[in-house]
Amino acid sequence: MEITRRRLLLLLPAAAVAWKYIQAGTPEAAPNYKLGEHWWGMLIDIPKCIGCGSCVRACSAENDVPDGYFRTWIERYHVPDWAIERPEVESPNGGKDGFPPNQSTGKNFFVPKLCNHCADSPCTQVCPVGATFVSPDGVVLVDKNYCLGCRYCVQACPYGCRFINPKTNTAEKCTLCYHRITKGLTTACAEVCPTGARQLADLKNPNDPIHEFLKTHSVQVLKPHMATGAKVFYNGMDGSVR
Amino acid sequence: MQIPVEGFMYPNEVELQWSVLIVLYPFITGLVAGAFILASLERVFRVSAVKPTYRLALLTALSFLLVAPLPLQLHLGHPERSFEMYLTPHRSSAMAMFGFVYLW
Amino acid sequence: MTAIIVAEGDTRYQKTLRVVGRNSHETRGSSVFKDTEHLIRLAVVLALGVVAFVGLRAAVVPKSFGQYGHYRGAAIGEIAARPIGHAGHEVCEGCHTDVVEQKKLGRHVVVPCEACHGPQAKHADDRATIKPPKLDTAVVCSRCHEANSAKPKTFPQVATADHAQGIACGTCHQPHHPKIEEAAESKPAAKPATGGKK
């Protein structure tokens, strides 16, 4: 095709638009998903959790989590008597293979933990370059092509949910299965939970049943004194959980 | 990867994050400051007793200064991206602001 | 102030100091700025440095940076483009209708397929070549049903060592409908009629 001046004048703005589109990322990964319509959170129902570890295994498989590190894990609490400030806690391999048989008296329960996707997140505050951020729909994500691996965010997280992936040498953590929730699916951990103890919540969607649950039940967040704006809510959680 | 711990620690926190490489940096900068003070004692404050150390102290200060950022760079997961801290520093991050100030 | 005293051997800087020490009406503006070359040089270098920095920044910083905040906007698309590992129980139920019927009879109807079978999106996409591996019931069942005081009291749990005495769970229990009825209808460990999993 011969490039005349006229053709070039018509071609250039089209090319500029296309270039901008390419540079802005690939929205076709989730074509019908509008960032502004969602505000993601999660509900964890402690009395329902049976500590089977399905969520830990599912997350590990879905997201290629390296061995020895955990994007989500389960803790077993044992409070022998009235002293809720002195629990005994264990988490054998993060609960990935379930828990060994145990018979003890007192209060015993499982607490699944994950990134709380804080609205006022300490990890995003301390990132020196802006590699970790709160997305417009409320999910705290890590840009592994920009992360230096300085480990500041891993230290800053009060919930201990971040780690450095030894393969990519960047920070990593639960992404709330962003690649799934932007396509209308639920997170891998909520998908496989046999008792429904873990449920994804869209806090901007009034029709979401979990949103309704949060409005009508007493729920807590972990470490409220840190004022992180955590968006993972725990139903039926004991005061001994730290 | 699993280090036995007494008591309970979050599973991801068993691995210590900032260890000996980070500690080396203030050690080396301390050496730089000390060497520089020794050199300036001779020239600025005119303490003639330390005159024989002047050249060595100044050279030491310069050479250690050039080497000081090295352990910091090496501990990073991606040292080749460290320039990002100067191009897009995150204003709320103490590390970025210090890095910026340190450079200038 | 006194008259100018310029001593021999003064450096230029020392001379300037002495000159400036005169009364203000004698100094006017010009003599204060006599030795300004170094200042101008510094200002020019600083200005060039700032220009170079801004130029470098414009060239190197990724274009989508700052699109939604202090981060690369393109990262959101990259993260959303990850391949999916778990298909979800609706996808499994589309083909494995016999298993669905079996599960409906018992309490395992609420248990998602991939809780035991692991991520099967690859199998769902390519059913012929990728087959899910056979599960070892001795391992899989005890994860949920091993007696542990932290599990809810109403949840069915057994101390496997006493209950099974070394025998795998699948020997007596059919995993999709695990309750052992007295009626002949649910034969324990029966091989399934169609291609569904045991």
Q: What is the pLDDT of residues A200-218, one digit of tens each?
A: 999 999 999 999 999 999 9
Please list the pLDDT of chain C residue by residue as tens digits (198 residues): 445 555 666 676 666 666 555 544 544 455 566 788 889 999 999 999 999 999 999 999 998 998 899 999 999 999 999 999 999 999 999 999 999 999 999 999 999 999 999 999 999 999 889 889 899 998 999 999 999 999 999 999 999 989 988 899 999 999 999 888 765 444 444 444 443 343
Domain boundary among A172, A189, A210: A172
Helix (H) or strand (E) run with residue B30 in it: helix B20-43
Domain count, chain B: 1
Whether C51 has its CB under 8 Å from any CB of chain B: the answer is no
Q: A220 in a domain, yes or no? A: yes
Whether C58 has its CB under 8 Å from any CB of chain B: the answer is no
Strand partners, A113: A73
Answer whether A105's CB lies under 8 Å from A120's CB. no
| C111 shares its domain with C48 | no
Q: A17 in a domain, yes or no? A: no
ipTM: 0.85
| C75 shares its domain with C114 | no
Whether B4 has its CB under 8 Å from any CB of chain A: the answer is no
Domain count, chain C: 2
Answer whether C147's CB lies under 8 Å from A103's CB. yes
Partner-chain residue, chosen from B12, B90, B92, that has the shortest CB–CB distance to A163 = B12
| C131 shares its domain with C150 | yes
Domain count, chain A: 2
Q: A21 in a domain, yes or no? A: no
CA distance A197 to chain C (A): 12
Average of pLDDT values for A47-72?
Answer: 96
| C43 shares its domain with C96 | no
Count the neighbouring beta carbons within 10 Å of the beta carbon of residue C113. 25
Q: C22 in a domain, yes or no? A: yes
| A149 shares its domain with A181 | no
Domain with B34 in it: 11-77
pLDDT over 60 (residue A120) = yes
Strand partners, A132: A142
Q: B87 in a domain, yes or no? A: no
| C48 shares its domain with C102 | no
Q: C150 in a domain, yes or no? A: yes
Judge: C60–B90 Cβ closer than 8 Å, yes or no.
Answer: no
Answer whether C156's CB lies under 8 Å from C145's CB. yes
Q: What is the pLDDT of residue C102?
A: 92
| A187 shares its domain with A73 | yes
Q: What is the pLDDT of residue B8?
A: 86
Judge: B85–A148 Cβ closer than 8 Å, yes or no.
Answer: yes
Q: What is the pLDDT of residue A30?
A: 66
| A71 shares its domain with A137 | no
In the DSSP assignment, the letter for residue C131 is -
Q: A7 in a domain, yes or no? A: no
Judge: A192–C114 Cβ closer than 8 Å, yes or no.
Answer: yes
- For every residue of C76-93, DSSP letters joined together read HHHHHTPPP----HHHHH
| A182 shares its domain with A106 | yes
* Range list of H helices, A98-201: 122-126, 152-156, 178-181, 188-192
Helix (H) or strand (E) run with residue A140 in it: strand A140-142
CATH of the domain at A130: 3.30.70.20
Whether C124 has its CB under 8 Å from any CB of chain A: the answer is no
| C93 shares its domain with C163 | yes
| A103 shares its domain with A78 | yes
Q: How far is CA A144 from CA A147, A169, A173, B81, B94, in A?
A: 5, 9, 11, 11, 21
| C49 shares its domain with C71 | yes
Classify burial at C51, counting beta carbons within 10 Å of its beta carbon; exposed 0-12, middle 13-18, buried 19 or more. Answer: exposed
Please state whether beta strands A232-235 and A219-220 pair in parallel, antiparallel, or not at all (unpaired). antiparallel
| A65 shares its domain with A83 | yes
Q: A133 in a domain, yes or no? A: yes
Identify the CA nearest to C148 among candidates A240, A235, A67, A74: A74
| A145 shares its domain with A165 | yes
| A51 shares its domain with A99 | yes
| A111 shares its domain with A61 | yes
What length does chain C have? 198
Q: C109 in a domain, yes or no? A: yes
| A222 shares its domain with A104 | yes
Domain with A137 in it: 122-172
Q: B100 in a domain, yes or no? A: no
Q: Cβ neighbours of residue A211 under 8 Å, at least 6 residues apart?
A: A201, A202, A203, A205
pLDDT per residue as tens digits for the range B62-104:
999 999 999 999 999 999 998 888 889 999 999 999 888 877 6
Answer whether A229's CB lies under 8 Å from A120's CB. yes
Q: Cβ neighbours of residue C46 under 8 Å, at least 6 residues apart?
A: none
CA distance A204 to chain C (A): 19
| A10 band by pLDDT with thresholds 50, 70 and 90 | confident
| C71 shares its domain with C100 | no
- For every residue of A11-32, DSSP letters joined together read HHHHHHHHHHHHHT--GGGSTT
Q: B95 in a domain, yes or no? A: no
CA A155, CA B13: separation in Å to the nearest integer? 9
Q: Give chains near B: 3+ CB pairs under 8 A.
A: A, C
CA angle A82, A88, A90 (to 5 degrees): 150
Order of strands, sheet of A88-90, starting from the edge strand that comes earlier in the sequence: A88-90, A72-79, A107-114
Higher pLDDT, C102 or B3: C102
Q: Please state the separation of Cα A96 from the chain's center in Å.
A: 17
| C38 shares its domain with C71 | yes
CA C77, CA A30: separation in Å to the nearest integer? 8
| A181 shares its domain with A165 | no
Q: What is the pLDDT of residue B51?
A: 87
Q: C148 in a domain, yes or no? A: yes
pTM score of the predicted model = 0.82
Q: What is the pLDDT of residue A237?
A: 94
Phi first, then psi, for residue C65 (nearest 5°) are: -70, 130
CA distance B103 to chain C (A): 13
User: Is the C-alpha dihedral spanning A171, C82, C89, C193 positive or negative?
Assistant: negative
Q: What is the pLDDT of residue A26?
A: 40
A200: three-class secondary structure by DSSP: strand
Q: B50 in a domain, yes or no? A: yes
| C165 shares its domain with C101 | yes
Q: C193 in a domain, yes or no? A: no
Domain boundary among C23, C52, C80: C80
CA C7, CA A73: separation in Å to the nearest integer? 80
Q: What is the pLDDT of residue B3?
A: 57
CA distance B100 to chain C (A): 13
Q: Give chains near A: 3+ CB pairs under 8 A.
A: B, C
pLDDT per residue as tens digits for the range A20-34:
444 444 444 567 889
Please state whether beta strands A40-45 and A232-235 pair in parallel, antiparallel, or not at all (unpaired). parallel
Domain with C18 in it: 12-80
